[in-house]
Amino acid sequence: MSTGKRYAMTVDTRRCVGCSACVLACMAENDVPEGYCRDWIVSEIHGEFPNLTQEIRSERCMHCSNPPCVEVCPTGASFVHDGGVVLVDPHKCTGCKACIASCPYDARYVHPDGHVDKCTFCIHRVERGDNPACVSVCPTKALTFGDLNDPTSEVSKLLRTREYKVLQPEAGTEPNVFFLK
Amino acid sequence: MNPHDVVEVISNRANPGIDPHLHVWGWEIPGYLFLGGVVAGLLVLLAALELTRKRRPTSGAAQWMPLVAIVLLSLGMGLLFLDLANKEHVYRFYTTFQPTSPMSWGSWILLLVYPALVLLFLSGLDEQRRDALVAWKPVARLRLARLLRWAMAFGDRHRRGVVWLSLLAGVGLGAYTGLLLGTMAARPTWNSGVMGPLFLTSGISTGAAVMLLTRLDPDETAALVRWDIMAIAVELVLLTMLLLGLSSGGTNAQAAASGFLGGAYTASFWSLVVMAGLVVPLILNVLEVKRHTRMTLFAPALVLIGGLALRAIFVAAGQAHVVGVLH
């Protein structure tokens, strides 16, 4: 049954300090195997010394509206769940890695158990009314999660009032993780 | 923010197989793409020989060739299986059809190729070889004689259909091995419509090489050498188009092109793929036709090395570049 929601996340690059609390919270919440991560921190330094700027981003699967991973999956193991969340059904996954090669964000990896694994937007938490683990622990409130189809949601308001960007727009994947500038 | 003034990008992600750059596909996938290409080439060439000469294969080698293709295809599918990280779920390829997935198309095309090859083989044998096959001890022990005779008769009745099915399956198989990579927008090196035709043409050339390594009838050899010249020439044009497309494209495409034009894959690509795999065998083939020199195994062997190198280098180079300047 469709709820008509479109889940999205905003990452405020002015608030993120790169503390990695989101990364650790995800590992604990989702039993991420040791040596792997479903979300990560990227820090970019721009400019010319001494006029340098730094942008820190908490990154993860972008839960694209036009997800190439779902398109190339030969078994239907990669699929779009209610709310636009891109998930992997480990029982259908053959570990062929086509989805990994198709992802412009390199957001997926092969779980040691053989199936492909990635961020789920903590759909198990979201469906019981909680925020994803990364969002709930962020000490600077850089991460916001919500429904883009609800104009009163926090993410909708942020995208109306703040400048934002998506990563690799040239890949045409229509990501649902937005970086506030 | 101007992406060209980036001083430093640091990521704390270190996922196995993904970082520092993608390396999820090792030697198995290039090996499969090579063998799949050879089989595609054999299907196309065997069909083309029969359609142009208007008779079934005359040499023993050409008659046995579909069986060679079955063995090579099975080896290739073995490599595909080896590459799967979740091997016990392999049957999942055949419980569904995903029309947007080239890999799903490929799995079903592979199933079409087997019956095409079996029928092409059984109804392509002359009477003497048919009798020998049916009288072969394992065939008798497994009580397959009647089934074989039925398949031979079935193939005889529908020989034209079998030949056209082989041609179609060969083109499908050869093109899909390139499209599999070519449809991935995330990897600029691969993301080109040229990849399908390029891998198909290379497959035809390597298929001809496998046949030319065997003892064929003179008119079969002559036709194959002529077609190999055309395939190599087309391949050179397609490779040029691919490189021109990449180097005249956006920042992502140019970064991918630099891998072949001064970057990490320059030496292997130009020496193994272009010189050894295409230019030298092309010259040898042309000399053979124009000067009527004796055919050697040198040109076909070089074509096979070049075909394998093409796939190995493209699979590796494609994984080295992801779309997006900052990544």
Instruction: Provide the shortest C-alpha distance from residue B56 to chain A (in Å).
Output: 37
**CB-based contact B103 A96, cutoff 8 Å:** yes
Instruction: Provide the shortest C-alpha distance from residue B254 to chain A (in Å).
Output: 14
Burial of B114 (0-12, 13-18, 19+ CB in 10 A): middle
Query: In this structure, which topology does domain A7-180 adopt according to CATH?
Result: Alpha-Beta Plaits (3.30.70)
**pLDDT tens track for A15-42:** 999 999 999 999 999 999 999 999 999 9
Of B12, B19, B87, the CB nearest to A20: B12
**Nearest chain A residue to B11, by CA:** A42
Instruction: Please indicate if any CB of chain B lies within 8 Å of the CB of A174.
Output: no
**CB-based contact A74 B324, cutoff 8 Å:** no
**CB-based contact A101 B326, cutoff 8 Å:** no
**CB-based contact B98 A44, cutoff 8 Å:** no
Instruction: Provide the shortest C-alpha distance from residue B96 to chain A (in Å).
Output: 6
Give residue limits of the domains in chain B: 20-320
Instruction: Please indicate if any CB of chain B lies within 8 Å of the CB of A114.
Output: yes
**CB-based contact B22 A100, cutoff 8 Å:** yes
Instruction: Provide the shortest C-alpha distance from residue A147 to chain B (in Å).
Output: 27
Provide the pLDDT for residue B327. 40
Instruction: Please indicate if any CB of chain A lies within 8 Å of the CB of B4.
Output: no
Cα-based distances in Å from A174 to A3, A48, A98, B127, B182: 20, 32, 19, 62, 20
Question: In b/e form, how buried is each residue of B263-300, taking b as 16+ CB within 10 angstroms?
Answer: bebeeebeebbbebbbbbbbebbeebeeeeeebeeebb
- Mutation target for B interface from A44, A75, A92: give the one with most B CBs within 10 A: A75
Give the phi and the psi of residue B13 in degrees, each rounded to 5: -80, 135
Provide the pLDDT for residue B2. 53
Query: In this structure, which topology does domain B20-320 adopt according to CATH?
Result: Formate dehydrogenase/DMSO reductase fold (1.20.1630)
Instruction: Please indicate if any CB of chain B lies within 8 Å of the CB of A55.
Output: yes
**CB-based contact A48 B5, cutoff 8 Å:** yes
Put simply, the chain B residues between 162 and 201 with a CB less than 8 A from any chain A CB are 180, 183-187
Note the ipTM here: 0.91
Per-residue pLDDT of chain B (327 residues; tens, 9 = 90+): 455 577 788 899 999 999 999 999 999 999 999 999 999 999 999 999 999 999 999 999 999 999 999 999 999 999 999 999 999 999 999 999 999 999 999 999 999 999 999 999 999 999 999 999 999 999 888 889 999 999 999 999 999 999 999 999 999 999 999 999 999 999 999 999 999 999 999 999 999 999 999 999 999 999 999 999 999 999 999 999 999 999 998 888 998 999 999 999 999 999 999 999 999 999 999 998 888 877 788 999 999 999 999 999 999 999 998 888 554
